[in-house]
Amino acid sequence: MAVARSPSRVRRMVTRALQTVFVIAIVAALLFPIYCIVQMCVGGYKSIWDPLISEFTLDSFIAMGGRQWATGFRNSVIISLANAAFCVLIAIPAAYMFTRVNFRFDNHLFFFTIMQRMLPPGAFIIPVFMIYTGIGLYDTLPGVVLAHSIFNLPLAVWILHGFMKDIPTTVDEAAFVDGYSVWGFWRRVFLPLMMPAIGVTAFFLWMFSWTELILANAVTRNASYPITVQLLLSLGTMTTGPMYKEAAAAGVLSMIPGVVVLFFARRYIARGFLLGGRPGGV
Amino acid sequence: LKVRRLRWMKFRVWLYLLPVILVIIVNAILPMVVSYNYAALNLIAGMEPTFEGFGMIYRAISDESFLDALGRNGLFTFLVLIIEVPLGILIAKAIPKRGKLGALCMVLIAIPLVLPWASIGLTWRIMVRTGGSLWTIFRTLGAPYSLGNPTHAFGLALLCDIWHWTPLVALVVSAGYAAMRTEPTEAAMIDRASRWAIFRHVELPALGFPILMAVMLRLMDSLRVYDEPFMILGEGPYQSLEFISTNISSSLDSMRFGYGAAQSLIYSFIAIMAFYIISTVITKGRGMK
């Protein structure tokens, strides 16, 4: 028996080793540009690419002070959080109705909602600028939040719909038979059940809103620039060395909230899929 | 009483949907109406608009650069999907599923996702500059990167997209793996099923929703790709990076608003059709809902 098993053990060890090498290679490849940007902001001024960072300086972070980066950061944090909250909040009831009730045009409305995400951002620049100026949302934080829901709201409805589909309607019926009011049902039964899925959705919404550039650029002028637009502006004047180092420093700093959120969201993401996607499958 | 209840139910449906519908009206329907109005006019900033009816749309259809952009975007989307989805699944399968190491791997892999797109553009732009890191690597490999070569530019945009978005596929699919029950896999292993058979017949069906989600996200976003290629190289040498979005916004930049609007109408139509066909195929005709 032991003789018969040994080749398979060797094979398993080889597979294991290959797997480890693969993972290390992938992580290294993914982190390489990140390393480049870090090197760009702490490295010296002599050459663009200096793999070993022979000259270490924090000048670029110091140079950031006094400019508008801090405002950009604050705006970005507010916009991305508000956008995730707003989209989730209005998408939950809509997704609920899409999964629970058949009504006239439901399929068409659902398709139309999702389809919005496919429209090219370039096509929105002019109309959104005009409409938001008309309703007084141009260059305000709520304006950017609303503009980001162009591509985030369809996503929210779609993901939440995907998860809710797998919660059987018997849950609702049992709750109402047990005498829960509509509000009580949402608060005590449905939302707690959906919490991991809401976490997943909110993470994705936050991610897209945190990084988005084009629409934010289209609806802001000065007061409510998020960090991405600040970066874009600094690229425009990137001809001088110190300026791009400053932009790199801002890029590095803007990565930090992302990593923090990622760290905490990771667990939620896995639990969210425990709910949907029919685990086990067979 | 039953009729009244039914009516209340119907009212409640629309009440629940109302916020979403309001946002859609402001964010999608109004812009479409504005675009439609523009599309019928030959509207160039600073000039008297003339009414053209369907003339602008006809002009856009017969415009070679627009058709090129469409074809290029189609190719880009196709390559993105066939490279990123299998690679992402492979990564998700290879990384440790549990424990501190798994958590660390996941966070490291997902970092490109939370980087603002502008700084991604900045990074890659500097990486391929003469003397930059990627430029050095390509030269060492004996395949020097040339800024003026359209194929190189396209390849670079593709590489950047793969770097940026494969982690999304890996993140979603690995979450699916973490949520998967282990008994079916173990049972299949006891039955001495091959690795491939286990993956194909046990794991893949269980990963249905995460994979569908990843494919849909990549499909939708690669069709509207704009930021990264544009931030790295502008339109690229010889328009080699002119995708649909870039094409439309370059019309807007040159103040040909009517023409840009006509282009975006055509594109929206094509996008709707493509999305409809692909989603029907993926969901085997059951519809998205």
Residue A282 has pLDDT above 50, yes or no: no
Alpha-carbon distances of A2 from A6, A9, A10, A12, A232, rounded to whole Å: 6, 10, 12, 15, 64
The pair of structure tokens assigned to B226 is 């704009």
User: Largest alpha-carbon pair distance within chain B?
Assistant: 81
**What is the residue whose two structure tokens read 């993140």?**
B171
Alpha-carbon distances of B219 from A117, B76, B82, B215, rounded to whole Å: 10, 10, 11, 6
Residue B271 has pLDDT above 70, yes or no: yes
> What gap in Å lies between CA A211 and CA A220, rounded to an integer?
15
From B233, B236, B227, select the one nearest B127 (Cα to Cα): B233
> What gap in Å lies between CA B86 and CA B69, rounded to an integer?
26
Of A84-98, B39-53, B183-197, the range with the lowest mean pLDDT is: B39-53
Residue A54 has pLDDT above 50, yes or no: yes
Sorting pLDDT into bands at 50, 70 and 90, what band is A227?
Answer: confident
The pair of structure tokens assigned to A218 is 């289209």
> What gap in Å lies between CA B115 and CA A212, rounded to an integer?
10
> What gap in Å lies between CA A116 and CA A132, rounded to an integer?
18
Whether the CB-CB separation of B42 and B58 falls below 8 Å is answered with no
Whether the CB-CB separation of A174 and A189 falls below 8 Å is answered with no
CB contacts, 8 Å: A36 with chain B:
123, 126-127, 132-133
Report, as an integer, the average pLDDT of A149-172: 87
Q: Does A177 touch chain B (CB under 8 A)?
A: no
CB contacts, 8 Å: B131 with chain A:
47-49
Q: Could you tell me the pTM of the whole model?
A: 0.85
pLDDT at residue A6, rounded to an integer: 58
Sorting pLDDT into bands at 50, 70 and 90, what band is A156?
Answer: very high
Whether the CB-CB separation of A151 and A121 falls below 8 Å is answered with yes
Residue B39 has pLDDT above 80, yes or no: no
Q: Does B45 touch chain A (CB under 8 A)?
A: no
A21 CB-contact burial (10 Å; exposed 0-12 / middle 13-18 / buried 19+): exposed
**What angle in degrees, to the nearest 10, is found between the helix axes of B150-178 and B64-94?**
40
Residue B235 has pLDDT above 50, yes or no: yes
For A144, the enclosing helix (H) or strand (E) is helix A141-164
> What gap in Å lies between CA A71 and CA A111, rounded to an integer?
38
Q: Does A158 touch chain B (CB under 8 A)?
A: yes
> What gap in Å lies between CA B36 and CA A118, rounded to an integer?
18
Sorting pLDDT into bands at 50, 70 and 90, what band is A277?
Answer: very low
Residues forming a β-bridge with A198: none
Residue A132 has pLDDT above 80, yes or no: yes
CA A272 vs. chain centroid, Å, equals 15
Q: Does A233 touch chain B (CB under 8 A)?
A: no
> Cβ of B210 and A94 within 8 Å?
no
CB-closest option in A101, A121, A157 to B13:
A101
Report, as an integer, the average pLDDT of B139-168: 85
In chain A, the residue whose alpha carbon lies closest to the alpha carbon of B113 is: A207
> What gap in Å lies between CA B189 and CA A22, rounded to an integer?
23
Of A138-147, A203-212, B113-122, B168-177, the range with the lowest mean pLDDT is: B113-122
pLDDT at residue A88, rounded to an integer: 95
Sorting pLDDT into bands at 50, 70 and 90, what band is A134?
Answer: confident
pLDDT at residue B284, rounded to an integer: 64
B158 CB-contact burial (10 Å; exposed 0-12 / middle 13-18 / buried 19+): middle
> Cβ of B116 and A261 within 8 Å?
no
**What is the residue whose two structure tokens read 């329907």?**
B29
pLDDT at residue A1, rounded to an integer: 42
Sorting pLDDT into bands at 50, 70 and 90, what band is A2?
Answer: very low
**What is the residue whose two structure tokens read 């909250």?**
A85
Report, as an integer, the average pLDDT of A229-240: 64
Residue B59 has pLDDT above 60, yes or no: yes
Alpha-carbon distances of A187 from A90, A159, B62, B258, rounded to whole Å: 16, 20, 56, 49
Could you list the beta-strand ranges (E) of chain B. Answer: 41-42, 50-51
Selected for mutation to probe chain B from A124, A219, A243 (highest B CB count within 10 Å) is A124
Residue B233 has pLDDT above 50, yes or no: yes
Of A21-35, A83-97, B136-150, the range with the lowest mean pLDDT is: B136-150
For B284, list phi and psi in degrees, rounded to 5. 55, 45
Residue A86 has pLDDT above 90, yes or no: yes
Q: Does A261 touch chain B (CB under 8 A)?
A: yes
> What gap in Å lies between CA A189 and CA A170, rounded to an integer?
12
Could you list the beta-strand ranges (E) of B29-104. Answer: 41-42, 50-51
Q: Could you give the count of Cα atoms lying within 13 Å of B52 in the half-sphere of its Cβ?
A: 23
> Cβ of B111 and A113 within 8 Å?
no
CB-closest option in A120, A250, A273 to B210:
A273
From A80, A216, A208, A120, select the one nearest B220 (Cα to Cα): A120
Report, as an integer, the average pLDDT of B34-46: 69
Phi-psi sector, A181: left (phi>0), alpha (psi -120 to 50), beta: beta
Report, as an integer, the average pLDDT of A58-67: 69
- Cα angle B155, B158, B160 (rounded to 5 degrees) comes to 110
CB contacts, 8 Å: B23 with chain A:
90, 146, 149, 153
> What gap in Å lies between CA B44 and CA B255, rounded to an integer?
6
**What is the residue whose two structure tokens read 């103040």?**
B255
pLDDT at residue B236, rounded to an integer: 61
Residue B42 has pLDDT above 70, yes or no: no
> Cβ of A97 and B16 within 8 Å?
yes
Residue B46 has pLDDT above 90, yes or no: no
The pair of structure tokens assigned to B68 is 């090129």
Residue % of chain A over a pLDDT of 70: 87
> What gap in Å lies between CA A196 and CA A191, rounded to an integer?
9
CB within 8 Å of chain A, chain B residues 202-241: 202-203, 205-210, 212-213, 216-217, 220-221, 223-224, 226-227, 231
From B221, B66, B247, B282, select the one nearest A204 (Cα to Cα): B221
**To the nearest whole angstrom, how far is the Cα of A221 from the nearest Cα of chain B?**
17
CB-closest option in B31, B123, B261 to A36:
B123
CB-closest option in A110, A118, A159 to B289:
A110
- Cα angle A107, A121, A37 (rounded to 5 degrees) comes to 125
Amino acid at B84: E
Structure-model confidence comparison of residues A103 and B173, the more confident one: B173
Report, as an integer, the average pLDDT of A64-82: 81
pLDDT at residue A38, rounded to an integer: 86
Report the mean per-residue pLDDT for chain B. 79
A vs B: CB pairs below 8 A: 319
Reduce the DSSP state of residue B50 to 3 states and report it.
Answer: strand
Of A24-38, B14-28, B217-231, B235-249, the range with the lowest mean pLDDT is: B235-249
Q: Does A34 touch chain B (CB under 8 A)?
A: yes
pLDDT at residue A5, rounded to an integer: 52
A149-153, A175-179, B32-36, range with greatest mean pLDDT: A149-153
For B197, the enclosing helix (H) or strand (E) is helix B195-198
> What gap in Å lies between CA B5 and CA A276, rounded to an integer?
32
In chain A, the residue whose alpha carbon lies closest to the alpha carbon of B180 is: A279
